[in-house]
């Protein structure tokens, strides 16, 4: 068998378009060779703590993570694009709490800055909290909301956790490692191996790689052009722009009503508030994000639209009869079964009972109501 070693020299071409005029400039960008990419010149630090580049093992493992990261160039492109949207929020919050800015790169390693990112172990959101740890640090996680997906609330929780870890461990590098494997597991290894130096600890492979992935993200995102990533401002995802609005819901309220009050669409409200689950907002007080400018006149529009929705619902009530099933009711009123389930916040196999009231958005329901009277 012959082995072929192929050296690929890649030249990336960026084309800038002028609206309606086709390509205006053609600018070649030479993507660095793999060898030059791993020639890391020191000094290098994480949160002001030196990365031991003179340690051959550390350098070799860092080179490996850097190469693997750079090989997935589309992923790095998305990191850079998303970082323009979310890093300003994270950076401001880190600064307010006077903790190192490098901690933002942990969100890259954890979720690639995706609010809906999830793991097999059940970790969710920007900072990949499990339910137990999320609730411990004040996040609301239930059938109606999952604040692990909210950039503000989840970052507050991550900061609280980082500060607690640093108080225990006295090192941001160890704190980041503990964020990955848990403080109890890390403390056990520190005691067993009699060292508090992260780079001299023998840890589970995932945690050994974890910190070096975080540092690789820092190296690339701190100087993307060196690694062949060149962007204009228009290439990046714009920072979030929004109005923050306080809502008082006296009953479960459809997101569609909230969206209409904000002069926008259901999808926009869901995208700005990824923590909201389902199609309704629970009764109670809430803060939501809406498109910039939506706050002007919102409360008056919201009250009017909620009153209209309640009045309409009173005319669209079907009383369940003996022998009824959800599928039969959906077929009778010519509405999709999933819609019937959503309107009434039901589960697919949830039993219904005679006398139960269902909301059905169908012109035929008014006829049925008259017949019942």
Contact 250, 257 (CB under 8 A): no
Domain 11-235 classification at class level: mainly alpha
The two domains 11-235 and 317-372 share their CATH topology (first three levels equal): no
Share of the chain above pLDDT 70, in %: 86
d(CA 344, CA 10): 56
Phi-psi region of 182 (alpha: psi -120 to 50; beta: other; left: phi over 0): left
d(CA 326, CA 343): 12
CA 112, distance to chain mean position in Å, is 8
**Neighbouring-strand partners of residue 317:** 359
Backbone angles phi, psi at 58, to 5 degrees: -65, -45
pLDDT tens-place string over residues 119-153:
999 999 999 999 999 999 999 999 889 999 999 99
Assign domain 317-372 to its CATH superfamily: LysM domain (3.10.350.10)
* Mean pLDDT confidence for 214-229: 94
pLDDT tens-place string over residues 348-368:
778 888 888 887 877 666 544
Domain map of the chain by residue range?
Answer: 11-235, 242-313, 317-372
Q: Distance between terminal CA atoms of the chain?
A: 85
Residues 6+ apart with CB under 8 A from 209: 61, 65
What was the pLDDT predicted at 36?
66
Cα separation values, 276 from 102, 138, 306, Å? 29, 16, 19
What was the pLDDT predicted at 333?
85
What was the pLDDT predicted at 15?
36
pLDDT tens-place string over residues 150-194:
999 999 999 999 999 999 999 999 999 999 999 999 999 999 999
């Amino acid at each position: 068998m012959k082995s072929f070693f192929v050296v690929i020299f890649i030249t990336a071409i960026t084309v800038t378009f002028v609206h309606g005029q086709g390509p205006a400039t053609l600018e070649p960008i030479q993507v660095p060779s793999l060898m030059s990419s791993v020639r890391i010149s020191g000094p290098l630090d994480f949160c002001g703590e030196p990365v031991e580049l003179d340690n051959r093992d550390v350098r070799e493992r860092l080179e490996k993570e850097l190469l693997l990261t750079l090989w997935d160039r589309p992923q790095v492109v998305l990191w850079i694009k998303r970082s323009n949207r979310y890093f300003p929020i994270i950076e401001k919050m880190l600064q307010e709490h006077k903790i190192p800015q490098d901690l933002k790169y942990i969100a890259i390693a954890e979720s690639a800055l995706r609010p809906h990112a999830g793991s097999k172990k059940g970790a969710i959101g920007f900072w990949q909290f499990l339910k137990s740890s999320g609730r411990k640090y004040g996040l609301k996680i239930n059938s109606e909301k999952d604040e692990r997906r909210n950039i503000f609330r989840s970052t507050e929780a991550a900061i609280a956790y980082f500060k607690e870890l640093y108080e225990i461990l006295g090192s941001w590098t160890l704190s980041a490692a503990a964020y990955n494997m848990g403080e109890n597991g890390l403390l056990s290894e520190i005691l067993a191996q009699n060292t508090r130096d992260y780079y001299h600890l023998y840890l589970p492979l995932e945690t050994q790689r974890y910190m070096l992935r975080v540092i690789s993200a820092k190296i690339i995102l701190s100087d993307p052009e060196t690694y062949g990533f060149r962007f204009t401002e228009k290439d990046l995802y714009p920072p979030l722009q929004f109005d923050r609005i306080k809502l008082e819901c006296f009953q479960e309220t459809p997101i569609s009503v909230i969206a209409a009050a904000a002069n926008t669409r259901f999808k926009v409200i869901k995208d700005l508030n990824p923590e909201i689950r389902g199609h309704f907002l629970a009764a109670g007080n809430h803060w939501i994000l809406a498109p910039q400018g939506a706050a002007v006149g919102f409360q008056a529009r919201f009250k009017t639209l909620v009153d209209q929705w309640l009045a309409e619902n009173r005319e669209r009530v079907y009383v369940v009869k003996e022998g009824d099933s959800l599928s039969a009711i959906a077929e009778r009123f010519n509405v999709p079964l999933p819609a019937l389930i959503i309107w009434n916040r039901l589960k697919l196999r949830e039993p219904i009972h005679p006398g139960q009231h269902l909301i059905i958005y169908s012109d035929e329901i008014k006829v049925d109501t008259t017949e019942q009277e």
